[in-house]
Amino acid sequence: MKKRVSIKDIAEKVGVSTALVSYVLNGKEREARVGQEIAKKIRKVAADLNYQPNLIARGLKFGRTNTLGLIVADISNPFFATLARSIELEAQKNGYTVLFGSSDEQLDKSQNLINTFLSRQVDGLIITPVAGSQSQIEELKTKGIPFVLMDRGFSDLETSVVVTDNHEAMYSAVKLLTDNGYRKIGMIAYDTPLTHMQDRIKGYKDALKDAGIRFQSKWLKKVPFEDYKERVARAVLQLIDKKSQPVDALVFATNSISVQALKIIHAQKLVVPDDLGIISFDESDAFEFFYTSITYIKQNLNEISKKAVQTLLKNINSVTPKVERVIVPSTIVVGVSSGKKLKEKVVV
C-alpha cells in the first residue's frame, strides 16, 4: 500500500510551509493573504499528486466523522436490504456514509457491533434491536450516544423509534377478512417480546373482538426464529386440520412466515381463497408465482428509512435531544387471496 499524499508532501514540493498549503486547500488564501501565483501552484501540485483531503482527520477536529452505524438483523434479508438502501440514500443526501452490520437476532453480536461502531467514532446509530437488548440500548442513553431504533422498540424503554403502524395494519387486514365473511381466523407470528410483533398480535385480537368473534387461543401460533420453517409447516397443518374445527382464514405476521405457509397450503391442495382466506404482512417475490394473487400489508419502507435518518440527525445536531416516536402508515394491497364479500358466510 502506497503512503497517501499529505499536505506535507505538497509543501515540500512547492517549497512553502504546511500551514500555507492548508490555508489554500481550505479556501482561506484571502484571510491568510497568500499570493495568487503561489496559491495556483499549490493547487496544481495537489492535483498532480492526486491529493485527497482527509475528511476523517478533519472530522475528528470537530468531534464528527459524518458516519452512521446501521445494525439490522440480517443484511441479506430483502426486507432489511431494502431499508439499508433507502438509509444509504438519505444519509448520502446529508453528507453521511453508512457502516453496516448484522446482529442475527443475537445479543452478543448486537453488543459487539455497537462496540465496534462506537470505537469507529460513528456520529450515531440506527438499530433494529434484538429481543432482550434493553441494557445495551440503555447504556447508549447513559453515554449520550445519539441513536434511533427502527422497525421495533421496547415497551419498557423510552427511546426514539421509527416503526410501521403495526397494530393498525394488522387490525385492518383482519377486518378485511371478517368483512369478507371469514369467522375462524388464525395467525402465525414469531415468538418474541419485541413491540412490532406484540402490536401485530394485538391488532389481530382487537379486530376479532370488534367483529364480535371470540378469540380462541389455538388459533394463534407463535414460532421461534430458529428452525421457523419446520415450525411454520407444523402450525399450518394444525390450523387446517379437518378433525378439529379448522380455521377458514389465516394472517401471517411476516413475509418469511407467509412463504413457508403458502408452500404447505399449496402442497395440501387447499384452494385460496375459497377454502382459506390469506393475508400476509409484507410482500415477497415468491408471491408472483403462487397460483392466486396474495393480499398483503405494504409497509412504507422508504418513509421508515428516511424518518430514521432524519430523527437520528436531529438527535446528533441537538444539544438537548428529544425522544421521538414516529409511526409510519402502511397500506393494504388487495389481491384475490383475501376473498370477496361472501354474504352467505356471514351467517355462522
Q: Is residue 54 a contact residue for a second copy (CB under 8 A)?
A: yes
56 binds a second copy (CB under 8 A): yes
The DSSP line for 201-258 is HHHHHHHHHHTT----GGGEEEE-STTHHHHHHHHHHHHT-TTS---SEEEESSHHHH
DSSP tag of 293 = P
Q: Pattern 32-51, binding to a second copy, x per CB under 8 A?
A: ------------------x-
Tally Cβ neighbours within 10 Å of residue 101. Answer: 17
Query: 15 or 144: whose CB is closer to a second copy?
Result: 144
Residue closer to a second copy by CB (options 124, 186) is: 124
**Does residue 267 bind a second copy (CB under 8 A)?**
no
Q: CB atoms < 10 A from the CB of 53, how many?
A: 11
Closest CB 299 distance from a second copy, rounded Å: 14
83 to 112: interface string for a second copy, x by CB under 8 A: -xx--x---x----xxxxxx----------
Give the residue, chosen from 187, 189, 232, 259, that forms a contact with a second copy under the rule CB under 8 A: 259
Cell readout for 134 is 434493553
Binder to a second copy among 14, 25, 38, 118 (CB under 8 A)?
A: 118
Residue 18, classed as helix, strand or coil, is helix
Sign of CA dihedral 154, 106, 196, 89: positive
Angle made by CA atoms 110, 114, 117, in degrees to the nearest 5: 135
Q: Does the N-terminal peptide bond of residue 224 adopt cis geometry, omega within 30 degrees of 0?
A: no
Strand ranges, E, within the chain: 67-72, 97-102, 124-127, 147-150, 161-164, 185-190, 220-223, 249-252, 277-281, 295-298, 325-328, 331-333
Contact status: 318 vs a second copy (CB under 8 A): yes
CA distance 39 to 33: 10
> What is the C-alpha separation between 294 and 276, in angstroms, rounded?
12
Choice between 121 and 134, CB closer to a second copy? 121
| Beta carbon of residue 181, minimum distance to a second copy (angstroms, whole number) | 26
Q: Write down the least CB distance from residue 11 to a second copy, Å.
A: 18
Identify which of residues 192 and 258 has a Cβ nearer to a second copy in the complex.
Answer: 258
Q: Kindly state whether residue 284 participates in binding a second copy, applying the rule CB under 8 A.
A: yes
Could you say which of 166, 195, 315, 338 contacts a second copy (CB under 8 A)? 315
Is residue 52 a contact residue for a second copy (CB under 8 A)? yes
Footprint on this chain of a second copy (rule: CB under 8 A): 1-4, 50, 52-57, 60, 63, 65-67, 74-78, 81-82, 84-85, 88, 92, 97-102, 115-121, 123-124, 139, 142-146, 259, 262-263, 266, 284-291, 315-319, 321
